[in-house]
């Protein structure tokens, strides 16, 4: 039972949306921090979209976005909001590990 659940977790697709604003320095840092972090993981399981609210202010409506940068985990349920520039990577690392995303062993 337990193993089958972690099995399904491991194969679950993770849908992430990074909401940013081009006007915000923290957003620019978040983009760089996220790209650097994801380099350590196999990307096959992860769908990442970056939404710039400067060009499309309404794209964050459905996900209740008030702050930038916000990394929003849309799938799997339940949703999760990670506010901030990811200079503290632990919340995202924990999330990826929870869903069994495999680390790449190559150096970056």
Partner 1 sequence: MAIPKLTTGIPGFDIVTHGGIPEGRSTLVAGRSGTGKTVFGLQVAAHLATHSVPVLVVGVEESADDLLNTGDGLGLDLSGLQAAGKLHVADLTRPMEGPTVVSGEYDLYGLIHRLEAAVKDRKVKVVVLDSATALFSPRPPQEQLRNHFFQLVSTLRRLNVSGIILAESLQDYGQLTSLGVEDYVCDLVVILRNTIDADRRRRTIEVNKYRRSGHFKGEYPCTVTTKGLVIFPQNPRERPDIVPVERFSSGVAGLDEMTRGGWLRNSIVIVRGPTGSGKTMLAGLYARAGALRGERVVYYGFEEPRPILVRNFEVIGMPMTPLINAGSLRIVCRYPESLSLEDLLVTLRVGIEEFSPSLIVMDSISSIEHASSEKGFRQFIIGVASLLREHGRSALLTQAVVAGASTEHTAPYLSTVADAILSMDYSPTGYELDRTMRVIKMRGSDHDTHPYRLAIAGGGLSVEKLTPAEFARRTRSA
Pairing of strands 70-75, 80-83: antiparallel
According to CB under 8 A, which one of 8, 57, 75, 97 is a site residue for partner 1? 57
Token look-up 């990577």 returns 89
Asked if 53 touches partner 1 (CB under 8 A), the answer is yes
The count of chain residues that interact with partner 1, using the rule CB under 8 A, is: 38
| Residue 14 binds partner 1, judged by CB under 8 A | no
In the set 39, 67, 75, 104, which binds partner 1 (CB under 8 A)? 67
Q: Is the CB of residue 72 less than 8 Å from the CB of residue 17?
A: yes
Q: CA nearest 13: which of 44, 36, 35? A: 44
Nearer to partner 1, 68 or 99 (CB): 68
């Amino acid at each position: 039972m337990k193993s089958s659940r972690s099995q399904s977790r491991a194969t679950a697709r993770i849908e992430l949306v990074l909401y940013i604003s081009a006007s915000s320095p923290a957003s620019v840092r978040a983009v760089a921090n996220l790209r650097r972090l994801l380099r350590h993981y196999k990307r096959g399981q992860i769908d990442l979209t970056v939404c710039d609210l400067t060009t499309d202010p309404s794209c964050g409506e459905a996900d209740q976005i008030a702050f930038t940068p916000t990394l929003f985990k849309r799938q799997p349920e339940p949703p999760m909001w990670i506010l901030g520039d990811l200079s503290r990577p632990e919340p995202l690392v924990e999330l990826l590990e929870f869903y069994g995303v495999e680390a790449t062993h190559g150096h970056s």
